Amino acid sequence: MSTACSIRSFVACAVAVFAAAVHADVTIGVVLSETGPTSSLGILEKNGVQLAAATTKEKFRFVFLDDATDPAEATRAARRLVVDEKVDAIIGTTSTPAALAMMTVVAEGGTPTISQAPSNVLVAPVEGPRRWMFKTTTNDDHDEGVFAPFAAVMNVGQLPDDDAGKKGAAEFVRAYEARHGAGTANIFSAGAWDAVKLLDAAVPAVAKSLAPGTPEFRAALRTALENLKNVAGARGVYNTSASDHTGLDANALRVGRYAQGRWLLEK
């Protein structure tokens, strides 16, 4: 075999190996409270992740862990995902204390994390370890002045067709109720569904040139997550930035009331 052929063969192999690495599955760790005091929420959140996983455009591998609503267990789970599994991102966890406990670990590992806990303290201000934290719940201050905050998924059929949040909410409600039954759609599963949708929207730009499982991929994914525009989710339309790791505003909530066993939109 000539030297030229050998070089061509080597280059072809190198290109093939690089292409395979770049197109490898993206691994997502999921830490939720499937047992313990907040398990009623964690189970619903797991439903949302599993449902969304079947709809993604990108190839994801999910690793699920239960933190038992225990901050110490959440820390151990996060460390296992970061160190042993070398996940590219994490979804979780359910409660604010457990999510705060995970924050240092995910920041040290440079692993972007989308929390399901509601507190602003997880994402604001966006500095230090909070640079690696995102969430799919509205902020505490979004509820100010809103009596009985009403999210689109709570009764999507009542929303006018021109409501910006209706399309994403309706997609989720149809999929969720097809699997779990009429009237089962809820904001907790919706937030977890949205976490997967945000990752699915952020990954393509990163996967073009970087291989999953590397620090460079995780860093670029964090940057992509904070530059999402008009991503239609179940809980609202997300527009993130370097100073806003929630991406939702007060427009994601409407005024509602609970009557006759369901949420009704106040018009």
Amino acid at 74: A
State yes or no: pLDDT of 67 exceeds 80: yes
CATH classification number, 25-265, choose in 3.40.50.10300, 3.40.50.2300, 3.40.1280.10, 3.40.50.10320: 3.40.50.2300
pLDDT attached to residue 2:
55
Tens-place pLDDT, residues 103-134: 999 999 999 999 999 999 999 999 999 999 99
Query: Bigger pLDDT: 3 or 154?
Result: 154
3-class SS string, the chain = CCHHHHHHHHHHHHHHHHHHHHCCCEEEEEEECCCCCCHHHHHHHHHHHHHHHCCCCCCEEEEEEECCCCHHHHHHHHHHHHHHHCCCEEEECCCHHHHHHHHHHHHHCCCCEEECCCCHHHCCCCCHHHHHEEECCCCHHHHCCCCCEEEHHHCHHHCCCCCCCHHHHHHHHHHHHHHHCCCCCCHHHHHHHHHHHHHHHHHHHHHCCCCCCCHHHHHHHHHHHCCCCCEECCCCEECCECCECCCCCHHHEEEEEEECCEEEECC
State yes or no: pLDDT of 155 exceeds 90: no
pLDDT attached to residue 49:
98
The confidence band for 15, taking pLDDT boundaries of 50, 70 and 90, is very low
pTM confidence score: 0.87
Domain boundaries, given as residue ranges, for the chain:
25-265
Listed range (17-31, 148-162, 168-182, 215-229) with the worst mean pLDDT: 17-31
Listed range (14-18, 166-170, 207-211) with the worst mean pLDDT: 14-18
Long-range contacts made by residues 76-81, C-beta under 8 angstroms, separation at least 24? Answer: 77/29, 77/31, 77/102, 78/29, 78/31, 78/102, 78/105, 78/106, 78/113, 79/105, 81/29, 81/31, 81/111
pLDDT attached to residue 18:
46
State yes or no: pLDDT of 214 exceeds 60: yes
pLDDT attached to residue 17:
42
pLDDT attached to residue 149:
54
The confidence band for 11, taking pLDDT boundaries of 50, 70 and 90, is very low
Average pLDDT over residues 156-166: 86
Q: Give whole-number Cα distances, 258 to 123, 150, 263, in Å.
A: 30, 9, 4
Listed range (19-33, 154-168, 217-231) with the worst mean pLDDT: 19-33
State yes or no: pLDDT of 137 exceeds 80: yes
pLDDT attached to residue 223:
98
pLDDT attached to residue 146:
45
Contacts with 127 (C-beta within 8 Å, 6 or more apart), sequence order: none
